[in-house]
């Protein structure tokens, strides 16, 4: 009994900390201890409730940009991973180019791509895809090469065809890595979509945030920060959920990756 | 007909531009249905020899035949059963699905009489564990599962690379007995790599003793113990003598003496 209480307390602890900090912030704001550019949680919820139509209107395109960008990046990563799986010699060049691309600051990349491709949804999706491709490329390349030497020899002894080797060994071995890459990339996709919107869009969470900033509407600004966090966490959670459904006992963390 | 024949088989590897001779001019014959053991110190090329028989590695020179055919043909015809030191079970498959893997790979291509995966699991004493994942099985059970998988296609030869090397001695003895029981039911030509003298003698009809650097065959010891083998035979003079012979071949003049130099 006591053990169960301890266990549930441990599970609840992160939430208790967040609630505690929020209450502390609220108290500090009400007591006038904070600068006026900081608003309390209650004010954020007020804005969220009052401005919900406008916020949803702006969140929708961001969700679309982020998920499409993530999907394109995943497809790209998978194709590159497959290529490297077939031609091991390509591993170093592919990873190097990907690393160089990801070393370019996102905030520099976005305007550069926008001037190149013009102001459009396609441009914003492309920016997002570039930003979240790297972790997925690394994860796919590593994952497809992750099978043990014993199991590779087993497939040799079984005289398996290259396709059987890929389908029955390499791909299932790679799954935990693919999910790990996607979990890192999903919040990046939300970030990427917002950065893309900053460089030019009519609507989107990034636009809402910029507008709030330039009109010094701190309530809306913090509300947009809150929504951005929530969307990022939801994106991560969705991938994690898909992972528990697809590979119930083999998540990468559990195998110590 | 001879089961496994090596004629002057050699294998060299390139290591940093240097050529290392892992196996040097090994010739040996194991008759059809016999149980053979390869024993020797580490670096004597015993695993390399096994991998050449399985056509995982190609010999640099010399020839190998299995029932008169080259290993590549036997492998392509799915005639090789291999048990690795590390069980190498696919962690996302259940025990039953792991045993079924060879059948899936062969698909409709192979038309041979097969035992069903379920029967094979029963044969190795894993009835009731069909749906367990490898991570839920003990090391010994995982290796039993790997043996069942190796037998799934009724192979012409069963090759075992220190299958019980990572297990404790008690489990190891028990699995050796089980392996002999399974083998006696299939009578497949079997070749076992081991570094345990007792295990080699207990299991085999013929022991090939190897020396290291370069890996070469130094002696062949025939074991005249009657089958089926029982633990009690380990106390018999024939067993003790065979162990002494193998030990003498392995250590030469150093046997039984300690050099305090």
CB pair distance less than 8 Å for A154 and B105? no
Pair of tokens at residue A130: 């570039």
Pair of tokens at residue B4: 């496994």
- Chain B partners of A175 at a C-beta cutoff of 8 Å? 92
Return the residue matching tokens 């799934």. B152
Number of compact structural domains in chain B? 2
Return the residue matching tokens 């040799």. A156
| CA-wise closest residue to B71 among B94, B89, B53 | B53
A130 shares a domain with A26:
no
A230 shares a domain with A177:
yes
Residue ending a domain, choose from B154, B170, B188: B154
B118 shares a domain with B90:
yes
Residue ending a domain, choose from B107, B135, B154: B154
Entry field: residues in chain B: 261
Q: What kind and span of H or E run contains B217?
A: strand B216-222
Residue B258 within a domain? no
**Nearest-CA residue of chain A relative to B151?**
A158
Find out whether A126 and A153 touch, Cβ atoms under 8 Å: no
B175 shares a domain with B57:
yes
Residue A142 within a domain? yes
Average pLDDT over residues A196-216: 92
A vs B: CB pairs below 8 A: 54
A55 shares a domain with A141:
yes
Q: Can you tell me the distance from the alpha carbon of A97 to that of A108, in angstroms, rounded to the nearest whole number?
A: 17
Q: What kind and span of H or E run contains B25?
A: strand B18-31
Report the SS3 class of residue B7. Answer: strand
Domain that holds residue A152: 40-249
Residue A254 within a domain? no
Residue B260 within a domain? no
Interface residues from chain B to A (CB-CB < 8 Å): 51, 54-56, 75-78, 80-82, 84-88, 90-92, 101-102, 104-106, 133, 135
Residue with more model confidence, A8 or B204: B204
pLDDT, one tens digit per residue, over A122-140 is 999 999 999 999 999 999 9
**Residue B247: which CATH number?**
3.40.50.300
- Chain A partners of B87 at a C-beta cutoff of 8 Å? 150
Number of compact structural domains in chain A? 2
In this predicted structure, what is the pLDDT of residue A256? 46
In this predicted structure, what is the pLDDT of residue B258? 57
Residue A2 within a domain? yes
Q: What kind and span of H or E run contains B11?
A: strand B2-15
Low-confidence ranges of chain B (pLDDT < 50): 113, 255, 261
Residue A255 within a domain? no
Residue B54 within a domain? yes
Residue B257 within a domain? no
CB pair distance less than 8 Å for A159 and B75? yes
Residue B89 phi, psi dihedral angles, 5° rounding: -80, 150
In this predicted structure, what is the pLDDT of residue A112? 87
Which of A91-105, A180-194, B18-32 has the least mean pLDDT? A91-105
Band of pLDDT at residue A214, cut at 50, 70 and 90: very high
Mean pLDDT of chain A: 90
CB pair distance less than 8 Å for B56 and A151? no
Q: Can you tell me the distance from the alpha carbon of B134 to that of B189, in angstroms, rounded to the nearest whole number?
A: 28
A8 shares a domain with A119:
no
A95 shares a domain with A161:
yes
pLDDT, one tens digit per residue, over B174-226 is 899 999 998 998 889 999 999 899 999 999 999 999 999 899 999 999 999 99
In this predicted structure, what is the pLDDT of residue A233? 93
- Chain A partners of B54 at a C-beta cutoff of 8 Å? 156-157
A17 shares a domain with A125:
no
Residue B11 within a domain? yes
Q: Please give, rounded to a whole number of angstroms, the shortest distance from the CA of B71 to a CA of chain A.
A: 10
Q: Can you tell me the distance from the alpha carbon of A243 to that of B237, in angstroms, rounded to the nearest whole number?
A: 60
A105 shares a domain with A4:
no
CB pair distance less than 8 Å for A160 and B105? yes
Q: B220's torsion region: left (phi>0), alpha (psi -120 to 50) or beta? A: beta
A44 shares a domain with A163:
yes
Looking at this predicted complex, what is its ipTM?
0.91
- Chain A partners of B92 at a C-beta cutoff of 8 Å? 172, 175, 247, 250
- Chain A partners of B84 at a C-beta cutoff of 8 Å? 150, 153-154
Partner residue facing B75 (CB), from A151, A157, A249: A157
Q: Please give, rounded to a whole number of angstroms, the shortest distance from the CA of B234 to a CA of chain A.
A: 33
Band of pLDDT at residue A7, cut at 50, 70 and 90: confident
Find out whether B25 and B194 touch, Cβ atoms under 8 Å: no
pLDDT, one tens digit per residue, over A138-184 is 999 999 999 989 999 999 999 999 999 999 999 999 999 999 999 99
Residue B147 within a domain? yes
**Nearest-CA residue of chain A relative to B54?**
A157
User: In the predicted model, is pLDDT for residue A254 greater than 70?
Assistant: no
pTM for this model (two decimals): 0.85
A112 shares a domain with A15:
no
Residue B169 within a domain? yes
Residue A23 within a domain? yes
Residue ending a domain, choose from B137, B154, B171: B154
What is the Cβ-side half-sphere exposure of residue B111, based on CA atoms within 13 angstroms? Answer: 0
CB pair distance less than 8 Å for A157 and B92? no
A49 shares a domain with A23:
no
**Residue A155: which CATH number?**
1.10.3720.10
Domain that holds residue B177: 2-79+155-251
- Chain B partners of A154 at a C-beta cutoff of 8 Å? 82, 84, 88
CB pair distance less than 8 Å for A156 and B56? yes
Q: Can you tell me the distance from the alpha carbon of A33 to that of A40, in angstroms, rounded to the nearest whole number?
A: 11
| CA-wise closest residue to A203 among A105, A119, A115 | A119
Residue A230 within a domain? yes
Q: Can you tell me the distance from the alpha carbon of B80 to that of B159, in angstroms, rounded to the nearest whole number?
A: 7
In this predicted structure, what is the pLDDT of residue B101? 95
Residue B168 within a domain? yes
Q: Please give, rounded to a whole number of angstroms, the shortest distance from the CA of A21 to a CA of chain B.
A: 41
| DSSP summary character for residue A225 | H
In this predicted structure, what is the pLDDT of residue B261? 46
Q: Can you give the C-alpha Rg of chain A in angstroms?
A: 22
B170 shares a domain with B66:
yes
In this predicted structure, what is the pLDDT of residue B165? 86
- Chain B partners of A151 at a C-beta cutoff of 8 Å? 88, 90
Residue A255 phi, psi dihedral angles, 5° rounding: -90, 10
Test the A interface: residue of B92, B108, B156 with most A CBs within 10 Å: B92
B38 shares a domain with B131:
no
């Amino acid at each position: 009994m006591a053990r169960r209480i301890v266990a549930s307390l441990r599970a609840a602890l992160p939430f208790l900390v967040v609630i505690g900090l929020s209450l502390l912030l609220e108290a500090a704001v009400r007591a006038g201890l904070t600068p006026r550019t900081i608003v309390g949680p209650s004010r954020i919820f007020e804005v969220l409730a009052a401005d919900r139509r406008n916020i949803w209107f702006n969140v929708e395109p961001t969700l679309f940009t982020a998920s499409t960008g993530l999907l394109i990046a995943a497809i790209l990563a998978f194709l590159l991973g497959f290529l490297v799986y077939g031609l091991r010699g390509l591993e170093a060049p592919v990873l190097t180019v990907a690393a160089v691309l990801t070393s370019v600051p996102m905030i520099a990349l976005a305007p550069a791509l926008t001037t190149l491709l013009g102001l459009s949804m396609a441009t914003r999706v492309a920016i997002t895809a570039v930003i979240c491709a790297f972790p997925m490329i690394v994860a796919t390349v590593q994952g497809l090469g992750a099978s043990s030497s014993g199991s590779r020899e087993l497939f040799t002894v079984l005289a398996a065809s290259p396709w059987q080797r890929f389908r029955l060994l390499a791909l299932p071995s790679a799954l935990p890595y693919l999910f790990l890459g996607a979990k890192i990339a999903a919040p990046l996709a939300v970030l990427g979509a917002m950065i893309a919107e900053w460089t030019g869009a009519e609507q989107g969470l990034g636009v809402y945030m910029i507008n709030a900033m330039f009109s010094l509407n701190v309530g809306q600004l913090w509300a947009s920060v809150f929504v951005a966090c929530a969307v990022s966490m939801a994106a991560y959670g969705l991938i994690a959920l898909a992972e528990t459904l697809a590979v119930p006992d083999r998540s990468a963390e559990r195998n110590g990756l | 007909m001879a089961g496994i024949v090596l004629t002057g088989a050699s294998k060299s590897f390139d290591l940093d531009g240097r050529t290392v001779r892992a196996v040097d001019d090994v010739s040996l014959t194991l008759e059809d249905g016999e149980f053979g053991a390869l024993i020797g110190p580490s670096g004597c090329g015993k695993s390399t020899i096994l991998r050449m028989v399985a056509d995982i590695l190609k010999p640099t020179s010399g020839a190998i035949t299995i029932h008169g055919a080259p290993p590549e043909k036997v492998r392509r015809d799915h005639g090789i059963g291999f048990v690795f030191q590390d069980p190498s079970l696919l962690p996302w498959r259940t025990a039953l699905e792991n045993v079924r893997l060879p059948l899936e790979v062969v698909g409709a291509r192979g038309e041979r009489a097969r035992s069903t995966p379920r029967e094979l699991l029963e044969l190795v004493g894993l009835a009731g564990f069909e749906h367990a994942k490898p991570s839920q099985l003990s090391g010994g059970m995982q290796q039993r599962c790997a043996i069942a998988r190796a037998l799934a296609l009724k192979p012409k030869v069963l090759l075992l690379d220190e299958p019980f090397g990572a297990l404790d001695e008690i489990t190891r003895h028990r699995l050796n007995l089980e392996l002999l029981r399974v083998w006696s039911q299939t009578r497949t030509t079997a070749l076992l790599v081991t570094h345990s003298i007792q295990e080699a003698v207990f299991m085999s009809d013929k022991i090939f003793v190897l020396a290291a650097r370069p890996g070469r065959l130094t002696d062949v010891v025939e074991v005249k113990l009657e089958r089926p083998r029982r633990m009690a035979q380990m106390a018999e003079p024939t067993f003790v003598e065979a162990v002494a012979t193998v030990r003498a071949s392995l250590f030469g003049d150093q046997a039984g003496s300690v050099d305090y130099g």
